[in-house]
Structure 1
Amino acid sequence: MNSEIINKTEEYVKNKLQGEGTGHDWWHIHRVRNTALRLGEIEKADLFIVELAALLHDIADHKFHDGDEEIGPATAWNWLENLGVDEAVIRKVCIIIRDVSFKGAGVETTMESIEGKVVQDADRLDALGAIGIARAFAYGGHKVRELYNPEIKPESHTTFEAYKKSTGPTLNHFYEKLFLLKDRMNTMAGKKEAEKRHQFMKGFIDQFLSEWDGNFEL
């Protein structure tokens, strides 16, 4: 029964997000699911809840629905309810979906369950490293944001509303979110991998800034 629910949910999500161009596509879901399951095994989490939450965590992202924070959990609830999933499981999955996202430098996003912690770590790992860099610029292009503007300084958002309204250049996003993630990981394995990806990302930004003014040594 659980495997049938997973298979139907995978197909549902794949059909909905396949070909999406902002970095929140099916392959993002695929990577997060795989990472979350690996972390979940280490942490002895309920892998059914982990897999459902990972598959559905971006099913209706607030970024693409006028900032609506409830549409994601509501969409997931309706889908799982129609599949006959136990209400206690649905509730746990939807809490994870509600709380998984980064909401600003000054906003806490604590996960209570171990299932939530591994899904959150998996989602954050996909925002780091080489893939994280690619996703950041893909989303910035989608939002028609400048790559970088040294006249616009990064902000430390103290509320989710302020974070959602941010329109700064893509490079600012590294300082406003991505460089903060390694210190917000929940699991030991997640922290270790986040540190590696963080260092890679820092090297990229250092190189980007060194090239910015068009100067180089022969």
Structure 2
Amino acid sequence: MTVSRWQQRFDLWLAEHSGQADAAHDAAHVRRVWRTARYLMAGEQVDEVVILTACYFHDIVALAKNHPQRHLASKMAADKTETILKTCFADFPEYRYAPLRHAIEAHSFSAGIAPQTLEAKIVQDADRLEALGAIGLARVFAVAGSLDIALFDSDDPFAQRRALDDRRYALDHFRSKLLRLPATMQTAKGRAFAQSNANYLVQFMGKLAAELQGDFNGVDADVLERFTLRDTVC
């Protein structure tokens, strides 16, 4: 069966079974991850069906960032995906279960599982790119709103005199996780996109810093200098 046909079937399943996912982990998110994965895997010798399936089901179990079992969510998602496939897609090839499980389990930042296959590396990169750039910026504040997290600490927005705490302040999440993502990327294409899109977030930080100082036209050069990611040789 072609990849396109599998995608059509998965889309139908999602339309019938997807619940009230949060704005950062809805059906549109998984389709964007698949679109990004297609770009990352172009020209590579990979199992496209494994990548497609992992992209579509990697967040089938999505726990809130403040959930005590957040680090286990990707394993739960792998378990649930296998159950769904065996129940609703009985013709899904059994030999794909193991690489699919690994790709789903390894996608998670919280799980800390290193991807061992190119398929898993591509899925991880594609998912992490969703956390950067304009989409990532929107997702950060969407999640913060759903969890009643403050936008930033008005007394010390850039944590110059306190420890970072992204469970209290959305802006802290930029430094505690998002700006660290480019260093974790597994593919050359992923690294290039991640660095560019992380610096988009830094530009936002610089604009925010300027506005907090009453400058509504400029960008805080000190913030840009402190946080902009530089080109690295990999």
TM category (shorter chain) comes to 0.7 to 0.9
Q: Distance in 1 between matches of 2:28 and 2:216?
A: 40
Residue 79 (structure 1) aligned with residue 89 (structure 2): no
Whether the aligned pair in 2 keeps the contact of 1:40 and 1:46 (CA below 8 Å) is no
Pair 1:181–1:15, CA change in 2 (3 A)? farther
2:132 and 2:198 in contact (8 A); partners too: yes
Letter in 1 for 2:96: V
Q: Higher mean Cα deviation, 192-201 or 136-145?
A: 192-201
Aligned to 2:121: 117
TM-score (norm 1): 0.84
**For residue 126 of structure 2, what is the amino acid of its counterpart?**
A
Structure 2 stretches lacking a partner, 5+ long: 218-234
Partner residue of 1:93 out of 100, 122, 139: 100
User: In structure 2, how many angstroms separate the alpha carbons of the residues matched to 1:197 and 1:132?
Assistant: 9
How many angstroms does 1:120 deviate by?
0.6
For 2:222, the equivalent position in structure 1 comes to none
Q: How does 1:1-218 map to 2 (within 5 A)?
A: 1-3=1-3, 4-17=5-18, 20-63=21-64, 67=69, 68-69=72-73, 70-82=75-87, 83-84=89-90, 85-103=92-110, 108-149=112-153, 150=156, 153-154=163-164, 167-213=167-213, 215-216=214-215
Which string of whole-angstrom CA distances, capped at 9 and with x for unpartnered residues, describes residues 104-150 of structure 1?
A: xxx84310010000111100111100110000100010110000012
Cα offset, 1:216, TM superposition: 2.4
Q: Which amino acid aligns with 1:212?
A: L
Please state how far the C-alpha of 1:183 moved relative to its aligned partner.
Answer: 0.9
Backbone CA RMSD of aligned residues:
2.3
The letter for the 1-side match of 2:27 is W
Q: What are the ranges of 5 or more consecutive residues in structure 1 without an aligned counterpart?
A: 156-165
Distance 1:108 1:200 in 2: 25
Deviation at 1:14, TM superposition (A): 4.0
Letter in 1 for 2:121: K
Give the number of the structure whose alpha-carbon radius of gyration is greater: 2
For residues 146 and 216 of structure 2, the distance between their equivalents in structure 1, rounded to whole angstroms, comes to: 34
Residue 207 of structure 1: how far off its partner (Å) = 1.1
Say which is worse superposed, 125-134 or 144-153, in terms of deviation.
144-153
Identity %: 26
Q: 1:61 to 1:19 in 2, by over 3 A?
A: closer
Letter in 2 for 1:216: D
Q: Which has the higher contact order (CA 8 A, sep 6+)?
A: 1
Q: Is the 8 A contact 1:62 1:72 kept in 2?
A: no
Q: How far 1:44 sits from its partner (Å)?
A: 2.5
- Report if the CA contact (8 A) 2:33-2:130 is conserved: yes
**Alpha carbons of 1:42 and 1:192: their partners in 2 closer, same or farther (altered >3 Å)?**
farther
Q: Which residue identity is paired with 1:135?
A: R
Aligned pair count reads: 204
AA aligned opposite 1:125: L
Give the TM-score taking structure 2 as reference length.
0.78
Question: 1:95 offset after TM fit, Å?
Answer: 1.5
